[in-house]
Structure 1
Amino acid sequence: MWTAVMADPTVPIAREVLAMVVADQRQWTRRWLYPPLRIVSRVAVWLIRVVKTLLPIRLSAHAVMDRLCVWFLRRFVSPRAGELLIRHFLIETDLLAFIARNSGVAGVPEPVLRPTTLAGLGDRAVIEHDVNVYDVLIALGAGRPGPRGPLDFSMLGLPAIDASPQVRRWLRLDIQTALCLMNIPFALCLTTEEYRRAVHSMRLDESLMTVLAELTGDDTFLRWRPGGVVVRVDSGLDVPRAVYEHAVVHEYAHARLVALAAGGAGQASSRTA
């Protein structure tokens, strides 16, 4: 099965990145811990959201969430999974920066969130990561982007990533199992509205892939739209699974842009600049 996944010509990401994804999927924690923890996570988050909805005050603890997230990643998540998570933050920033720089619409902000370490995922990075998507789409407004001559691909190089492999882990979770557990403090430490905004931001991949297709004139991006409509706010979303698929779609889109920048549609390595 895994040989077929690695050889699949329809998967556009670089083979070394795909090898990381496959190795992460093959961890014992993904097979044995993820299924029960996925249920635990959904139940816990549902209970947290119900209680917070009933409370008369809005509760949030962003600093606590940041510190807990970084500590958890350094002590309980494999360096490989940590690297994949950092990659996602960098890649989403690249995609949004590409749109901002090439849209031809005045005033579109270009995100600057580029963490290269686990510590960089603190300091409100999770919140900024989600808000950046909204900021870019809001700024695009009614100015529909499209091919406007030579495109600027210069923002696509990824820096070296340090996921603290030298730090002793008490457990080395795969990324999906880690996301299940991290979803609980996210729901607890964000306000109800912040959490809903973060969840809905993944549905906006529908819009991002459409914009990328219009900018590049390449309909390949449309294949990776998640489906559904962005005007629907889905409270019952399986968040850890959605985050994982959201990250994979962004890997696909980034690899496609790198291939277009190189002047071809073949696979391209985007692991480091």
Structure 2
Amino acid sequence: MSDRDFDIASYDPRDPDPWLALYLDNSLPIDPVAKTALLRGNRSWSRRWMFPVVRPAVFAFFLLVKLLRGISPHHPNLNGTLHRLIHWGLKVFCTPDANMLILRHFHIGTELLAFIKANAGPVEVETVPLRPRTLKDLEANVFLQHDLNVFNFIIQLNASLRAQGRDLVPVERVDFSMISDEPFDLAPLPDGPLNFADAQTAIEVYTPLYALMLPRADFIRASNSLQLDETVAIYIGKILGADYHMAFVKNGHPLVPLSTWQAGYRLMMHGLDCEAFHGWLRLLKRRQAQGLPLDPRNPIGA
């Protein structure tokens, strides 16, 4: 399936294609390559047929895992095996689009945290940059480290700000240097006869495995991290002195945690939120380079 599937020439007012409408819609500032990959996954037979078929089985398996974790919250702890299993499954069964979306998510998360740190003033924050180029790179504890990065960042950032008696504030000139304007450096991805699964189907299948193979505390932390999008958006808003990007957040504030039952769906929403944040910052970076006001809605102010 190619971008030609979203060609305006195929438009029929008597039978409008919903995916063409979303492809042409520009309400979210998402990278065009990522948006096209997401839409191709949404309209694939995997998402339309396999996803609803596997969901009941996944739910039943998830229920068994929850019962097991209630009895044994700390064991098994198979983090290394989990990451190898994820690598194998993505390599063998997922489409290049799905794998590209998953890999780029870690680059985006790294850049969003780096943006906040660079514009926060002097703070003591240490996280592990995640820049996987290949699916094999994911075996290096990338999924678990991603969750640790977010929570450690929030703890260290706010502890440092509190110790100094201050908060994040708008800066005179925002530093966008860490926001990539070029495509992320990803190696060619497998595209064999079995690479059919879209990103949402893969995530739905892997969610109970994540709960099974990690201690309960690690899984709950990972699930709760999906609601930190609003927290990160507030930090970005304080730095920019603007709140337009808050409209992108759909995961809810973490002070009211959601159930882990919908962790798979919320992980997709988390990815969408982060893509929108990154796309917005990329847009503002370009406007700054052109000498334009940062806020596209404000033709006068800077």
TM-score (norm 1): 0.90
Q: Which moved more, 1:15-24 or 1:77-86?
A: 15-24
**Alpha-carbon distance in structure 2 between the residues aligned to 1:57 and 1:24:** 35
After superposition, residues 198-217 of structure 1 pair within 5 angstroms as 198-217=222-241
SS where residue 262 of structure 1 aligns?
helix
Q: Which moved more, 1:31-40 or 1:219-228?
A: 219-228
| 2:275 aligned residue | 251
**Alpha-carbon distance in structure 1 between the residues aligned to 2:232 and 2:127:** 14
Q: 1:59 aligns with which of 57, 76, 79?
A: 76
Preserved CA contact (<8 Å) 1:52 1:59: no
Preserved CA contact (<8 Å) 1:13 1:251: yes
Give the residue type in structure 2 aligned to 1:116. R
CA RMSD of aligned residues (A): 1.8
Preserved CA contact (<8 Å) 1:42 1:238: no
For the pair 1:154 / 2:154, whether they are aligned, the reply is: no
After superposition, residues 87-166 of structure 1 pair within 5 angstroms as 87-141=104-158, 142=162, 143-157=166-180, 158-165=183-190
Deviation for aligned residue 1:265: 5.8
Give the residue type in structure 2 aligned to 1:20. A
Per-residue Cα deviation, 1:246-273 (whole angstroms, up to 9, x for no partner) = 101100000000011111667xxxxxxx
**Alpha-carbon distance in structure 2 between the residues aligned to 1:213 and 1:50:** 41
Q: Closer, same or farther in 2 for the Cα pair 1:132/1:194, shift >3 Å?
A: same
Deviation for aligned residue 1:105: 4.5
**Alpha-carbon distance in structure 2 between the residues aligned to 1:196 and 1:56:** 11
Preserved CA contact (<8 Å) 1:200 1:233: yes
Deviation for aligned residue 1:169: 4.5
Q: Closer, same or farther in 2 for the Cα pair 1:221/1:203, shift >3 Å?
A: same
Per-residue Cα deviation, 1:68-116 (whole angstroms, up to 9, x for no partner) = 0000000011111100110111111111111111112410225411111
Preserved CA contact (<8 Å) 2:73 2:216: no
Preserved CA contact (<8 Å) 2:210 2:219: yes
Q: Which runs of 5+ in 1 are unaligned?
A: 267-273
**Alpha-carbon distance in structure 2 between the residues aligned to 1:148 and 1:56:** 45
TM-score (norm 2): 0.82
| 2:248 aligned residue | 224
Q: Closer, same or farther in 2 for the Cα pair 1:250/1:175, shift >3 Å?
A: same
Give the residue type in structure 1 aligned to 2:272. V
Deviation for aligned residue 1:16: 3.0
Structure 1 or 2, whichever has the larger Rg, is 2
Deviation for aligned residue 1:159: 2.7
Give the residue type in structure 2 aligned to 1:258. R
| 1:39 aligned residue | 56
Preserved CA contact (<8 Å) 1:98 1:155: yes
Q: Which runs of 5+ in 2 are unaligned?
A: 1-17, 288-293, 297-302
| 2:11 aligned residue | none
**Alpha-carbon distance in structure 2 between the residues aligned to 1:130 and 1:43:** 26
Deviation for aligned residue 1:163: 4.9
Per-residue Cα deviation, 1:120-144 (whole angstroms, up to 9, x for no partner) = 1111100001111111111121342
| 1:23 aligned residue | 40
**Alpha-carbon distance in structure 2 between the residues aligned to 1:21 and 1:209:** 22
Q: Closer, same or farther in 2 for the Cα pair 1:228/1:92, shift >3 Å?
A: same
Per-residue Cα deviation, 1:150-171 (whole angstroms, up to 9, x for no partner) = 22211111532125235x3524
Give the residue type in structure 2 aligned to 1:153. F
Percent identity, aligned pairs only?
28
Deviation for aligned residue 1:56: 7.1
**Alpha-carbon distance in structure 2 between the residues aligned to 1:86 and 1:196:** 22
After superposition, residues 63-74 of structure 1 pair within 5 angstroms as 63-74=80-91
Q: Closer, same or farther in 2 for the Cα pair 1:164/1:227, shift >3 Å?
A: closer
